[in-house]
Amino acid sequence: MNIVLFSERDNYFFPLNDERTRHISRILKKKEGDTFEAGIEGGMAGKARILSLNDEGLSFDFTPLSNGKPLFPVEMIVGFPRPIQLKRLFRDMAGLGVSRILLCGTETGEKSYMESKIVERGAAYEALKDGSIQAKSTHIPKLDIFASVKDCLASLNAEKHAAGRISVCLDNVKAGMPLGKYIKNALGTRDGFARGCVPSGKDCPSILVRAAIGSERGWSDAEREAFRSAGFELCSMGSRVLRTETAATVSASIILEALGVL
């Protein structure tokens, strides 16, 4: 754990058998009076100080010091991959700091993948939290699930959009411009945009980048047209066919680099 996360329900106390207590006492070898890096889930990061460590558990106080590394204005639409890939995808996306993941069924994807219980059993949230902890962030990406691309796009259409929304659909069949070039060109048309600025800051315009990654067999022609109709540009990342999880990581990295945060 690069940062120990807690919530209000913890009440500044971890039971003795809690994974966080074991990590602090056995791995970090902390004792009463020592401090460790901690943060509130979805809130501030800072230093925690151990008040007591005994047979009941670990109690601590907390001093907030930073904003906990807020997530970046990047949302990833991902066609359902194999369940074994999902946890890795969640960890990587959270580690990179994307703000939202939208999983959706696709016409060419394996329908049984959507029957995974990873979300119902809480494993999805834990994987997202693991990725955030790896990145020393207190903020965990939001996860939404849709039965189809059509349902996903309909939901997005009903939302209020950022002033500088850029939407891309990754495709290795009918794509036009390379992803990196398109994103940088699109950002260059946004008046006042500066690389590396915090999108929510008062000196930086509001901007949101959405990228869609297909499932193993890619998009159908109908789905490509649906994305085009919704304002998405079909982009490529070279001639090689990548796994869904790899394509998601690579595309998110390219976008974040264009935003100036990598």
For residue range 158-172, what is the model confidence (pLDDT) as tens digits?
A: 887 666 789 999 998
Task: Give the integer Cα–Cα distance in Å for 195 and 220.
Answer: 35
Among 33-37, 203-207, 232-236, which is the least confidently predicted range?
203-207
Give, rounded to a whole angstrom, the gap between the first and last alpha carbons of the chain: 22
DSSP notation for 155-224:
HHHTSPPPTEEEEEEE-SSS--SBHHHHHHHHHHTSTT--TT--TTSTTS--EEEEEEE--TT---HHHH
Taking 70 as the threshold, does the pLDDT of residue 203 lie above it?
Answer: no
For the ranges 172-176, 235-239, 251-255, 258-262, the maximum mean pLDDT occurs at 251-255
Burial (CB count within 10 angstroms: exposed 0-12, middle 13-18, buried 19+), residue 77: buried
Q: Per-residue confidence at 194, pLDDT binned at 50, 70, 90?
A: low
Task: Kindly report the average pLDDT of the chain as a whole number.
Answer: 90
What is the pLDDT at residue 262?
83
Task: Give the integer Cα–Cα distance in Å for 105 and 98.
Answer: 20
Task: Give the integer Cα–Cα distance in Å for 78 and 142.
Answer: 13
What is the pLDDT at residue 172?
86
Beta carbons of 169 and 183 less than 8 angstroms apart:
no
pLDDT digits (tens, 9 = 90+) for 73-106: 999 999 998 888 888 999 999 999 999 999 999 9
Taking 50 as the threshold, does the pLDDT of residue 204 lie above it?
Answer: no
Nearest to 92 by CA among 253, 256, 260, 259: 253
Among 61-70, 197-206, 253-262, which is the least confidently predicted range?
197-206
Structural domains of the chain, ranges and CATH numbers in brackets: 4-66 (2.40.240.20), 72-259 (3.40.1280.10)
Mean pLDDT of all residues in 191-199: 52
Instruction: Specify the pairing of strand 164-170 against strand 233-235.
Output: parallel
Task: Give the integer Cα–Cα distance in Å for 259 and 67.
Answer: 20
Say what the pTM is: 0.89
Beta carbons of 91 and 250 less than 8 angstroms apart:
no
